[in-house]
């Protein structure tokens, strides 16, 4: 295992060097960054969140409109976990890199809001968010917390205070369009960046999985930190098949030790 540790140390050093030398860095995060916070990957069949539910039956826009009560029954477990979850060292690490000027944009597939709660400012939630809700009738937008708490405690389905329509969490359901403005901003950030860091995404969910290609096409560097292999491992400058919550603090430590020397920002 000694050689593995050396490989990790070398990967961490290389990652720190590339981050220090880059000017426009995008971090793309997926479910793997929130699993250390106790949030299962709800798109995975192994998440334990599906039970007898068919994803396409409950978590699609058409079935939400047809049977919102069943949708809310399904999402109850996930909502209960998300509302209590706390950011982990990977979220805090990325937020501190942004504050230090080493990260310009965070693109996340996660709907848990943990990047913002850790202090990240420029976050693009391409799969939407559980933090807010919109009325399916009048499209007004509301903070989700009160409605979710009320549902978890009393089983009250979230209803629009203005028009009485049903409120839908602002997460992107199966078969639903990505939020257009956010998606355009994400594509733009990927085209402009000179470094992309993938943290906790297996790059399996389209179209987000295609974003790194836009960066690579423009010659950007790629750092991949994910437990399992991805289709871009062979094209990355650094690949670390490790826990992001352990690796990101190590990279930051390395950057901090270099900052007095060649890594200034």
Instruction: Select which of 23, 127, 221, 241 is catalytic.
Output: 127
Q: In this chain, which of 7, 10, 138, 184 binds Zn ion, going by CB under 5 A?
A: 138
- Say how many CA atoms lie within 13 Å of 114 toward its Cβ: 30
Under rule CB under 5 A, residue 160 binds Zn ion: yes
Under rule CB under 5 A, residue 119 binds Zn ion: no
Tell the smallest beta-carbon distance from residue 219 to Zn ion (Å): 47
Map the footprint of Zn ion across residues 173-192, applying CB under 5 A: none
Given the complex with Zn ion, which of 139 and 231 has the nearer CB atom? 139
Please give the DSSP secondary-structure letter assigned to residue 120. Answer: -
Q: Which stretch binds Zn ion (CB under 5 A): 27-35, 70-78, 137-145, 151-159?
A: 137-145
Angle at alpha carbon of residue 120, lines to 115 and 237, rounded to 5°: 85
The token pair at 85 is: 């979850």
Tell the smallest beta-carbon distance from residue 82 to Zn ion (Å): 23
Given the complex with Zn ion, which of 127 and 168 has the nearer CB atom? 168
Q: Does the bond joining 207 to the residue before it have cis omega, within 30 degrees of 0? A: yes
The token pair at 188 is: 């733009």
Tell the smallest beta-carbon distance from residue 158 to Zn ion (Å): 11
User: Residues binding Zn ion: what is the number (CB under 5 A)?
Assistant: 7
Q: In this chain, which of 165, 242, 246, 263 binds Zn ion, going by CB under 5 A?
A: 165
Q: Which stretch binds Zn ion (CB under 5 A): 1-9, 90-98, 146-154, 157-165?
A: 157-165
Under rule CB under 5 A, residue 163 binds Zn ion: yes
Largest CA distance in the chain: 63
Under rule CB under 5 A, residue 161 binds Zn ion: no
Task: Tell me if residue 127 is catalytic.
Answer: yes
The burial of 98, by beta-carbon neighbours within 10 Å (0-12 exposed, 13-18 middle, 19 or more buried), is given as buried
- CA-wise closest residue to 109 among 23, 216, 195, 210: 210
Under rule CB under 5 A, residue 7 binds Zn ion: no
Alpha-carbon gap, residue 142 to 135, rounded angstroms: 8
Q: Which stretch binds Zn ion (CB under 5 A): 67-75, 113-121, 144-152, 161-169?
A: 161-169
Tell the smallest beta-carbon distance from residue 212 to Zn ion (Å): 38
Q: Are 263 and 100 in contact (CB under 8 A)?
A: no
Instruction: For 154-214, give the DSSP string.
Output: H-PPPB-TTT-PBEEEEEPPBTPPPPHHHHHHHHHHHHH-SEEEEES--S-STTGGGHHHH
Q: Which stretch binds Zn ion (CB under 5 A): 9-17, 110-118, 164-172, 221-229?
A: 164-172
Tell the smallest beta-carbon distance from residue 73 to Zn ion (Å): 22
Buried b (16+ CB within 10 A) or exposed e, 191-210: ebbbbbbbbbbbbeeeebbe
Q: In this chain, which of 58, 135, 195, 248 binds Zn ion, going by CB under 5 A?
A: 135
Residue 127 φ/ψ, nearest 5 degrees: -105, 20
Catalytic residues: 127
Query: Interface with Zn ion by CB under 5 A: which residues?
Result: 135, 137-138, 160, 162-163, 165
């Amino acid at each position: 295992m000694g050689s593995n540790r050396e490989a990790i140390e070398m990967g961490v050093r290389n990652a720190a060097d590339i981050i220090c030398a880059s000017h426009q860095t995008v971090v793309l995060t997926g479910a793997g960054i929130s699993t250390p916070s106790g949030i299962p990957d709800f798109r995975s069949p192994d998440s334990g969140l599906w039970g007898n539910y068919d994803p396409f039956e409950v978590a699609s826009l058409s079935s939400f409109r047809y049977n919102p009560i069943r949708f809310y029954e399904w999402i109850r477990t996930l909502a209960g976990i998300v509302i209590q979850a706390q950011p982990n060292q990977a979220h805090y690490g990325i937020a501190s890199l942004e504050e230090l000027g080493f990260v310009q944009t965070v693109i996340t597939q996660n709907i848990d809001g943990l990047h913002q709660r850790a202090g990240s400012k420029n976050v693009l939630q391409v799969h939407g968010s559980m933090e807010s809700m919109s009325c399916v009738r009048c499209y007004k937008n509301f903070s989700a917390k009160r409605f979710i708490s009320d549902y978890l405690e009393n089983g009250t389905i979230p209803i629009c205070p203005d028009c009485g329509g049903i409120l839908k969490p602002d997460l992107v359901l199966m078969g639903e369009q990505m939020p257009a403005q956010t998606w355009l901003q994400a594509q733009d950030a990927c085209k402009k960046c000179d470094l992309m860091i993938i943290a906790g995404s297996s790059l399996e969910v389209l179209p987000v999985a295609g974003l790194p290609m836009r960066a690579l096409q423009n010659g950007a560097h790629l750092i991949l930190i994910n437990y399992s292999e991805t289709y871009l491992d062979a094209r990355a400058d650094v690949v670390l098949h490790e826990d992001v919550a352990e690796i990101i603090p190590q990279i930051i430590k390395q950057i901090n030790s270099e900052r007095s020397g060649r890594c200034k920002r």
